[in-house]
Structure 1
């Protein structure tokens, strides 16, 4: 039995600039609360990651969806691809395309159903995790135990160096493995903007979970450290600039390199 309050709204959003809007799920615990980035282009828009899929992202973002939109999976962890099934066009790295089509794990919102070793690794990394993964229900009658990660149609498979063309904006795909095998970033050299997914963010980085590889992550971090970024819009936590990027990369390399 779940005695959680009903959320007034499941998503919140904030306009970051003329072409970028941040959406997030305030009633998802911080560990799983990913940044969802809507990027407007002339010919198509991007929805970079889609959150947990507890409630409809398409319905929440309806005022943003006025042209063709591609949902990008920076990687296929549950907190980033829960809403991809709502979109007709989905982009993912070749190493994780099968996971987006058919998730290996249905997922859960219940702490008690999570692998204890996995939970302990999250706590060691610095996350507090002592309750279920949501702190409210999206609507009256929502069944937390019926939650399930759904597969999505994959329409665009990318790899290192591919270009994601929005007409007036062009993002280069950077393959940034370490957190997961097919983690990608989208790099716009013209503006110095990087959408980094979970390759780097301003919080405890996870490199001891299933699919992670510390040795590979070290190489990715060295690469990121040299990138001439102006702003990083990451998969979690606040955006940051080059100085903070270098600090975060150096801290990781000091610990793991």
Structure 2
């Protein structure tokens, strides 16, 4: 866990392989808290947040959870929370195996020598846990569609539907503070548009929408935050290939 800016904490899972080590973003608002994505759900994210809240001398508040898309590394921990929102175009955590080869095959990823053939995690949180058949529990999500507003009191995030990586990929945009939670639609690495749920033509249309946004702080699904200039570079690199 690390504080990125006032009221914003970036969380990841240190024992997960980098391919499935997605970002979890915790934005503490005036009236409500926002949790963008929930990681793999191997250990209890809810308990970790409650502990962190207590160490800060704050009162625990049930967060609004928004899943940027349904892949396991972003939706695996969602079943713990009461208010979960996701685009109906994706089924949250449909692929649940953390065996490297099985995970890649079910996701539709091309063979990657950097992806281990064995397990994608290096530690077990509890006895009798089988990462080859990781049970994420029952995830119930309220539809989050383009134009919906997530209101935290002092910040308002607009839902953007940006298909391409998956059919139901979404991002959250704070137009006033020029902040974007982008999920896996855009991050500073190779963008995946050839998975079972991907559509390159949709991806290009989503990039055209992103190109026109006035944002300065992008909070991606993987890796570190970046600014408007890096965002434009990523978009140019994708659309020119």
Distance change in 2, residues 1:88/1:118 (3 Å): closer
- Which residue does the alignment assign to 2:150? 164
1:125-164 counterparts in 2 under 5 A?
A: 128-130=114-116, 131-139=118-126, 142-154=129-141, 156-164=142-150
Distance change in 2, residues 1:218/1:59 (3 Å): same
Distance (Å, rounded) in 1 between the aligned partners of 2:88 and 2:104: 27
- Which residue does the alignment assign to 1:9? none
TM-score, structure 2 length as denominator?
0.90
Aligned residues: 234
- Which residue does the alignment assign to 2:13? 25
Q: Is the 8 A contact 1:119 1:129 kept in 2?
A: no
Structure 1 residue 104: Cα displacement: 4.0
Q: Is the 8 A contact 2:164 2:185 kept in 1?
A: yes
Secondary structure of residue in 1 paired with 2:214: coil
Structure 2, unaligned runs of 5 or more? 54-58
Structure 1 residue 204: Cα displacement: 1.4
Task: Single out whichever of 188-197 and 59-68 deviates more from structure 2.
Answer: 59-68
Distance (Å, rounded) in 1 between the aligned partners of 2:7 and 2:226: 18
Distance (Å, rounded) in 2 between the aligned partners of 1:242 and 1:77: 26
Structure 1 residue 114: Cα displacement: 3.5
Distance change in 2, residues 1:117/1:109 (3 Å): closer
Q: Is the 8 A contact 2:173 2:179 kept in 1?
A: yes
Structure 1 residue 162: Cα displacement: 1.3
Structure 1 residue 17: Cα displacement: 1.5
Q: Is the 8 A contact 2:109 2:195 kept in 1?
A: no
Distance (Å, rounded) in 2 between the aligned partners of 1:200 and 1:181: 15
Distance (Å, rounded) in 2 between the aligned partners of 1:94 and 1:140: 34
- Which residue does the alignment assign to 1:5? none
**Superposition CA RMSD, Å:** 1.9
1:63-78 counterparts in 2 under 5 A?
A: 63-64=52-53, 66-78=60-72
Secondary structure of residue in 1 paired with 2:60: coil
Corresponding position: 1:218 with 2:207: no
Secondary structure of residue in 2 paired with 1:232: strand
Question: Structure 1, residues 156-192: CA drift from partner, whole Å, max 9, x if none?
Answer: 3221111111111101111111001111110001111
Structure 1 residue 139: Cα displacement: 4.3
1:60 to 48, 55, 59: 48
Structure 1 residue 240: Cα displacement: 0.3
Distance (Å, rounded) in 2 between the aligned partners of 1:225 and 1:120: 26
Corresponding position: 1:108 with 2:107: no
Corresponding position: 1:229 with 2:218: no
Structure 1 residue 212: Cα displacement: 0.5
- Which residue does the alignment assign to 1:4? none
Distance change in 2, residues 1:119/1:153 (3 Å): closer
Distance change in 2, residues 1:158/1:114 (3 Å): closer
Q: Is the 8 A contact 1:122 1:206 kept in 2?
A: no
Secondary structure of residue in 2 paired with 1:94: coil
Question: Structure 1, residues 61-106: CA drift from partner, whole Å, max 9, x if none?
Answer: 113372131111111111101110000110111323xx23xx544x
Q: Is the 8 A contact 2:119 2:131 kept in 1?
A: no
